[in-house]
């Protein structure tokens, strides 16, 4: 079983596993891009959120900065979500 699979089944895993760190780093790069958007870049934010989150419904808005261990990769949002600045989530597993 991989470290990623262990992370999602609640088993002990090595958080410094090289494959985990590579994947997490990609997610955090996208998160950085999202947090660096200008207020006028609404469309760019929407596109980034579609890449960042496991699921994002229509009419969702997140005010940067947003913080998450995996950049939102394991976050499922329905439609019509509004989150003000400094939303912080521990998304090591699906939420």
Does 2.160.10.10 match the CATH number of domain 3-89? yes
At residue 41, the pLDDT reads 98
| 71 contacts 27 by C-beta, under 8 angstroms | yes
At residue 5, the pLDDT reads 93
At residue 90, the pLDDT reads 96
Rounded to whole angstroms, what are the CA distances from 50 to 2, 23, 35, 40, 81?
A: 26, 17, 14, 18, 14
pLDDT tens for residues 13-32? 999 999 999 999 999 999 99
Which pTM value belongs to this model?
0.93
At residue 6, the pLDDT reads 94
pLDDT tens for residues 59-76? 999 999 999 999 999 999
């Amino acid at each position: 079983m991989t470290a990623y699979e262990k992370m999602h089944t609640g088993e002990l895993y090595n958080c410094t596993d090289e494959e985990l760190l590579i994947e997490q780093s990609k997610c955090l790069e996208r998160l950085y891009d999202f947090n660096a958007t200008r207020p006028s870049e609404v469309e760019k934010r929407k596109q980034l959120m579609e890449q960042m989150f496991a699921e994002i419904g229509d009419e969702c808005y997140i005010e940067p900065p947003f913080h998450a261990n995996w950049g939102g990769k394991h976050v499922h949002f329905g439609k019509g979500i509004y989150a003000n600045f400094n939303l912080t989530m521990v998304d090591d597993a699906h939420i």
